[in-house]
Structure 1
Amino acid sequence: MSGSEIHAGPGARLEVFAPDGIGEVTEGTDLAALVAEHAVDGDVALLTSKVVSKAEGRVATGDRDGAIRSETVRVVARRGGTAIVENHLGLVMAAAGVDASNVATGRLVLLPLDPDATARAIREAVRERTGANVAVIVTDTAGRAWRHGQTDLAIGAAGIEPLDSFEGRVDAYGNELAVTAPAVGDEIASAAELASGKLGGRPLAVVRGLAERVLPAGEHGPGARSVVRETGTDMFGLGSREAVVAALTRTQQVAFGAAASPDDLLAALAVCGFEVLGRGPDSVLVDAARTDLRLTTLAFAFGWRVRATENPGPRSADSPALLAPLS
């Protein structure tokens, strides 16, 4: 068994352990029995997505690229043979989460269809069999923008709030917190990975000492899907190259998010050398041809569009250009 203790401050102490000897998980393996054998009331049990997928028969044979395409909802960025995509769970990760490690040669493991539902089912089964009220988290490994390496995160959760909003709370200096929201599910997943490791054959980890975070029996919480940012609300919905292509071809508008404010648009127009002739609450008049590719591309990226003006005045019939929000 691999284990560690994490001291989180005076009076706060966590124990994390990952049992050895679990053996190979195959389709139909009773994961609830596995959790019930090692977790007790108030524990958080963590299972890797790999063993959940194996138990649920989410293992394929054949072409990896084809499997990735079948799991992909939207391509976010591509560099050579590496594709960062949004998969059917809303997760943005390399290769849609398709994995060929820790599985027989020629086999591919796909992510679970609904890891939140799996976590709920395991939690309920453990409660029915043993009476223990445990939280269950399904984990997977992913990279992070601007950081080398990978870390584990929660892709399924039941019996625990995966996000702890501090909005409205006051710190020790009397400052009201506005946006602080620890991703508790991801933090626990990363702590568990330190004990389970990648090559130790320990797909289950148990975190002890967080009983106050385990929800009452019957309350499962919003699930890990609630932590995924909605498409269009992320400032980095596309890779830098892909954003240029999307703007030029006027595709994937949702990835650019809601229409920018007039002030943000004006700042971008100024940087790009456009002269603004006037503005209204939902319009901007620009001294440029309506067919100017730079202007139409910039407008689209900011969620605006180019409209014809009713009275072009002494300028050519193609100028000035009137910009208005797309919606």
Structure 2
Amino acid sequence: MSDRSSVEAFALSGIPEVRPDDDIAAFIADAMEASGRTWEPSDIVVVAQKIVSKAENRIRHVAEIEPGREAREISAACGKDARKVQAILDESTDILRVVPARPAGLVIARHVSGWVCANAGIDESNLGGNEGQLLLLPVDPDASARRIAHGIAARTAIRPGVIVTDTFGRAWRNALVNVAIGLSDVPPIIDWVGQKDAFGRELQVSQQAFADEIAAASGLLMPKDAATPVVIFRGLQWRADPDASARRYVRPLNEDLFK
């Protein structure tokens, strides 16, 4: 354990353009070696969802999608391409809101993983100029994070924590932040209930979204034009949780105040 007064974060340069079936763990291990740094046991590796989805071939081609009736109705209501709407429907359990927002319509959906997000997390940016492609979220981001952690451990004998992140909007707040959608060992929530604050008062409801806080901070080193999809955090105090899962962030529907 290190002291709580400082944390180091650095982006790994040299991660190549990722293609289907690439080994992300090997890319990370190679980039770390090239940086001249050595791994430390408490390191946490934050990986952008985009390269995970590319490696897992989570790609659909718009030209190959045939929209159904519901997709065409939603398209008419918001102006989004009906084929893209169909891709959203295929990745979702519920459509919560349809908005004719610029530039191409907005669909708020509940993803099959439970996330409530724009367009079911489907993205079209930073795809290497491949117009007409859609990038979907990983099927199981927690499993993706575990594979990366295992791959790094196989190369280095150090198993870091791993967070897979995506960029989400937030209820009642403008703009976007990175959030954790997949975890290996990193606890999603640190429960402070029953512990005392700095003045000795017992905390009643405080729960720290630990992995989300790290994910949000990683966005500072992952600007959209920088090609730095991997960030290492060092010096944080944390204890590995073998059952870690980002799905613990999904609020049960009976507690959802915004549905």
Given the alignment, which residue of 85, 90, 98 partners 1:78?
Answer: 98
Deviation at 1:228, TM superposition (A): 1.1
Aligned residues: 224
2:221 matches 1:201: no
Alignment of 1:58 with 2:58, yes or no, is: yes
Structure 1 letter corresponding to 2:14: G
Q: Which residue of 1 aligns with 2:12?
A: 19
148, 162, 167: which one aligns with 1:136: 162
Instruction: Tell me the equivalent position of 2:72.
Output: none
In the alignment, what sits opposite 1:165? 191
Q: Is the 8 A contact 2:124 2:134 kept in 1?
A: yes
Displacement, 1:87? 0.4
Residue 139 of structure 2: aligned partner: 113
Q: Secondary structure at the residue paired with 1:213?
A: coil
What secondary structure, in the 3-state scheme, does the structure 2 residue paired with 1:121 have? helix
Per-residue deviation at 1:174? 2.5
Q: Which moved more, 1:31-40 or 1:71-80?
A: 31-40
| Selected match of 1:174 from 200, 215, 235 | 200
Report the 3-state secondary structure (helix = DSSP H, G, I; strand = E; otherwise coil) of the residue aligned with 1:232: helix
In structure 2, what is the equivalent of residue 67 of structure 1?
87
Task: State whether residues 27 and 57 of structure 1, in contact with CA within 8 Å, keep that contact through their aligned partners in structure 2.
Answer: yes
Look up the equivalent residue of 2:161 and give its one-letter code: A
In 1, the alpha carbon distance for the partners of 2:4 and 2:138 equals 37
Q: Is the 8 A contact 2:180 2:215 kept in 1?
A: yes
Q: Which residue of 2 aligns with 1:90?
A: 114
CA contact (8 A) 1:74 1:87 kept: yes
- State the identity %: 38
Distance 1:11 1:102 in 2: 36
What per-residue deviation string (whole Å, max 9, x for no partner) do you get for residues 203-255 of structure 1? 11111112x3151xxx5332111111122211112xxxxxxxxxxxxxxxxxx
User: Residue type of the partner of 1:116?
Assistant: D
The alpha carbon displacement at 1:72 in A equals 1.3
Contact 1:44 1:214 (C-alpha < 8 Å) held by counterparts: no
Stretches of structure 2 that go unaligned for 5 or more consecutive residues are 33-37, 63-82
Alignment of 1:249-288 (within 5 A): none
Which secondary structure does the structure 1 equivalent of 2:190 belong to?
A: coil
Distance 1:236 1:54 in 2: 32
Tell me, what secondary structure is at the counterpart of 2:194?
coil
Deviation readout 1:43-100 (Å, 9 max, x if unpaired):
1101111110000000110132221111111112222221111001100000000101
State how far apart, in whole Å, the 2-side matches of 1:235 and 1:47 are: 31
Q: CA deviation at 1:11?
A: 5.1
1:134, 1:214 within 8 Å by CA — same for their partners in 2?
no
Alpha-carbon displacement from aligned partner over 1:82-141 (angstroms, at most 9, x marks no partner): 111100110000000010111121111000000001111211222222111200000000
TM-score (normalised: structure 1): 0.66
More displaced, 110-119 or 70-79?
A: 70-79
Higher relative contact order (CA 8 A, sep 6+): 2
TM-aligned CA distance change 1:189 to 1:101, over 3 Å: same
- 1:49 equivalenced with 2:49 (yes/no): yes
- Between the aligned partners of 1:214 and 1:201, the Cα distance in structure 2 is 30
Aligned to 2:252: 230
Query: What is the alpha-carbon distance in structure 2 between the residues aligned to residue 35 and residue 184 of structure 1?
Result: 23
Classify the secondary structure of the residue corresponding to 2:85. Answer: helix
| 1:7-50 C-alpha deviation (Å, 9 max, x unpaired) | xxx85211111122322100011011123232713211011111
For 1:130 and 1:181, the matched residues in 2 are separated by 33
Partners of 1:32 and 1:11 in 2: CA distance: 28
Q: Do the aligned partners of 2:166 and 2:179 also contact (CA within 8 Å) in 1?
A: yes
Aligned to 2:218: 192
**SS of equivalent to 2:252:** coil
Structure 1 runs of 4+ off > 3 angstroms? none
